A = this chain, B = another copy of it.
Amino acid sequence: MVVGKKINRVDAVTKADGTAKYTEDLLDDKCLVAKVLHSTIANGKVLSFDLEEAKKVPGVVKIITSFDVPDIQYPTAGHPWSTEKAHQDVCDRKLLNTRVRFYGDEIAAVIADDEIAADHARDLIKVEYEEYPAIFDMEESVNNPGDVPIHEEKPNNVIVKSNYEVLDYDEAVKEPGLIKVTGVYETQKVQQCHIENASSFAYKEAGKVVVVSATQIPHIVRRVCSQALGCDMGKVRIIKPYLGGGFGNRQDALTEPLNAFLTLQVGGRPVKLMYTREETFFGTRSRHAMKFYITSYVRPNGTFAAREIVAYSDNGAYGSHAHALVANAVNAFRMMYPVGAIKGVAYTVYTNNPTAGAMRAYGIPQIGFALEAHVDDIIAKLPNDDAISFRKKNMMQLGYVDPGTTITCHSTGLSECIDKGREAIGWDEKIEKYKNQTGDVRHGVGMGIFCYKTGVYPIALETSACRMILNQDGSIQLQVGATEIGQGADTVFSQMAAETLSIPFENVHILSQQDTDVTPYDTGAYGSRQTYVTGMAVRKTAESLKNKICDYAAWMLNKDRIDLDLVDNHIVRVGTNDVLISLKEVAMEACYSRTNSNHIAAEETHHCSDNTYSFGVCFADIEVDIPLCQIKVNRIINVHDSGTIINPQTAEGQVHGGMSMGLGYGLLEKMLFDPKTGRMLNSNLLDYKLMTAIDTPDLEVAFVEPKDPSGPYGNKSLGEPPVIPVAPALRNAVYNATGVAIDSIPLNPEKLFQEFTDAGLIK
């Protein structure tokens, strides 16, 4: 058994010894440098550029402005695409935009021999604008859109409004004796903060434009580039090297389309377009700030009778993933506690903020915070319920079929996760111990649960292909279009291949680099889909390869195929398991046979038509220093049901990373903007407060492993979920410690000071 084993990452050594090649490592030393000029107003349009001084800078090769780009509006979202117009993404940006919509919009680009010349020339470009009033608040954007809409296609600044209803809400609320609880919950805009900035370089070769880019979604970026350039898809080639994190930001076409265009403006010479940290902050994507109005009607026995949510999502200046996130959030509002009548309304709104897009767990950390805060607000009003009893009563149960998406709960270990976490954190004792505290420093425990889908079916296409080649030494080459982005995907795919083929793990050689010219199609790394969707493609391909190997061995041995199997790196007789020949001998003969050479390879598509829920819980035990407005996390534990854990070691790493990100989300992180101009104020890793090693407590992790019947190896989503339950657990722990229910994050000292002052704890 290789699946389920703790195994070191396949890329551990190559990353540690520096031989792993990232985009910048592959740069041509004759590469030209492109620098983008960003708008210095948040709303308006460019009237003219004065390039005279810029062009005089020695080393400037070409300057391209928004007046020079094709009149094509294209989408950037890393969605699978559809041939039906209704399912396609918003096409609302050009390669460079004359109509600017946020402070930092891309309006021109300088191509020069070196960085210094490009920077200098860029700074010498003079721009004349016509300026419009900017709108930075999402509700104001809907309620008071102004004379000039941000995009003329959406006169009221609403990209999409959607709604659903389960049962009859208006009837349900009439039930006598219901307790009504309302709340308004807000989450902030944060950034993915992957260590490698948005970076790419492009060149022309053999009639194709080639873009080497740190992307999560090479095959999708290929399609987006072809749309942006107006060329055939076969004329675009995307190469994805090792990369330094993505977390959803790279589930979008970022620098690639413009970079592809720029190389074509200089005859296909290599051009690099590497964003600085500052540009990556405001010029790529971020997590959506959201605002939720929630009303619940609960029976005194602790069950939901009816709930309503109205959600706003600040999409910023351009469409990107647009409504998909808040729709996901409002759907999860329904799924997590699928009890009673439910009504949901969601708005995705253009504002003049930088564009929001995908980020780890895609709308669910937002609703997760709001809903789990709201649940604790409800419990506070119930006579007989506590945090655990209420949740267990109302949460999703095995066999649930979601009425909106038809996604079925094939397996759930959530109740067991809660029990395990409750035990580990010492919940019951601490609830007792932390009652009736006084003094400056108070302790509290809090929890949050979540459910999370696995991939994007049936909202969008789920598809994946895989290829394997048998090497002469009996090892295999494994190629997937799915991407290793630091999360350990290559390791688990290798385990899966070894498992199904019954060969040693070290005999699987996976290619970490994707190249759309040769790599099997896959939509990429997002939606925690890869182990589930791509995993099944790996399994199918391994089965196909195994079958071909056994076919060949049957010919070699002059035996019936049906009597042979590949077990433990050898061809054996089915039944007796007698070893007949080694896989290496079969591989050598297949390659070098003088009578029947056969270069054994297999390539299979998995078209996925299923989905399943993973679950989990976070328990936090904290102390709050009220006068200092500081939270110290003494213990924190995430317990996950992600089905079978393919690799406990890398899974734990995933959870650690998610918890760290959840801590930052709950306690520290926030993108800050000048309220007048919309300019980002903390676009660097000094002023933007990420969790550091010093801030981070020991991160405890446990798993519950029901084997999911729909997962290729019993597995379900794990990549994104760990981030979800942390912020609400912290918020609820603060509530438990201080009695102050805070309805927005981050819980930074500024916020705590305000809240504790309002509550009279600070005078």
Nearest chain B CB to A447 CB, angstrom units: 38
Q: Which residues on the B side are within 8 Å of A575 (C-beta)?
A: none
If A203-B19, A233-B472 touch, does A520 touch B588 (CB 8 Å cutoff)?
Answer: no
A267 close to B592 (CB less than 8 A):
no
Task: Please provide the chain A residues from 1 to 53 with a CB less than 8 Å away from any CB of chain B in the complex.
Answer: 10-11, 13-14, 17, 19-21, 25, 28-29
> Is A521 close to B, CB under 8 A?
yes
Q: Which residue of B lies closest to A602 (CB)?
A: B603
Q: Which residues on the B side are within 8 Å of A512 (C-beta)?
A: 206
> Is A403 close to B, CB under 8 A?
no
B599 close to A520 (CB less than 8 A):
yes
B21 close to A205 (CB less than 8 A):
yes
> Is A234 close to B, CB under 8 A?
yes
Nearest chain B CB to A512 CB, angstrom units: 7
A601 close to B598 (CB less than 8 A):
no
Q: Which residues on the B side are within 8 Å of A593 (C-beta)?
A: 83, 461, 607
Q: Which residues on the B side are within 8 Å of A208 (C-beta)?
A: 509
> Is A100 close to B, CB under 8 A?
no
A607 close to B601 (CB less than 8 A):
no
Per-residue interface assignment for chain A, residues 195 to 221, with 1 indicating a CB less than 8 Å from any chain B CB and 0 otherwise: 000000001111110000000000000
User: How many copies of this chain are found per oligomer?
Assistant: 2
A83 close to B207 (CB less than 8 A):
no
Q: Which residues on the B side are within 8 Å of A594 (C-beta)?
A: 82, 461
A234 close to B509 (CB less than 8 A):
yes
B232 close to A475 (CB less than 8 A):
yes
Nearest chain B CB to A527 CB, angstrom units: 16
Q: Which residues on the B side are within 8 Å of A204 (C-beta)?
A: 19
> Is A437 close to B, CB under 8 A?
no
* CA gap between A207 and B267 in the complex, in Å: 37
Most buried by B among A81, A479, A589, A605: A605
Q: Which residues on the B side are within 8 Å of A465 (C-beta)?
A: 599, 601
Nearest chain B CB to A492 CB, angstrom units: 16
A206 close to B473 (CB less than 8 A):
no
A518 close to B511 (CB less than 8 A):
yes
Task: Please provide the chain A residues from 573 to 624 with a CB less than 8 Å away from any CB of chain B in the complex.
Answer: 588-589, 591-599, 601, 603, 605, 607, 609
Nearest chain B CB to A12 CB, angstrom units: 10
Task: Please provide the chain A residues from 55 to 110 with a CB less than 8 Å away from any CB of chain B in the complex.
Answer: 80-83
B232 close to A463 (CB less than 8 A):
no
The answer, among B206, B232, B471, B601, for a CB contact under 8 Å with A20, is B206
> Is A653 close to B, CB under 8 A?
no
> Is A151 close to B, CB under 8 A?
no
B473 close to A80 (CB less than 8 A):
no
* CA gap between A598 and B82 in the complex, in Å: 14
If A223-B472, A232-B475, A509-B517 touch, does A83 touch B588 (CB 8 Å cutoff)?
Answer: yes
> Is A569 close to B, CB under 8 A?
no
Per-residue interface assignment for chain A, residues 521 to 532, with 1 indicating a CB less than 8 Å from any chain B CB and 0 otherwise: 100000000000
Given contacts A521-B591, A593-B607, 19 further A-B contacts (CB under 8 A): A11-B206, A13-B207, A14-B207, A25-B28, A82-B594, A83-B592, A206-B512, A208-B509, A233-B473, A234-B477, A235-B473, A461-B594, A465-B599, A518-B518, A521-B599, A596-B607, A598-B605, A599-B603, A601-B603
**14 A-B residue pairings within 8 Å (CB atoms):** A19-B205, A20-B206, A80-B592, A206-B509, A207-B509, A232-B473, A232-B475, A233-B473, A233-B475, A234-B471, A461-B594, A595-B609, A597-B607, A598-B605
Per CB-CB distance, the 9 closest pairs between chain A and chain B, nearest first, are: A234-B475, A463-B597, A465-B599, A521-B599, A234-B471, A232-B473, A233-B473, A233-B472, A234-B473
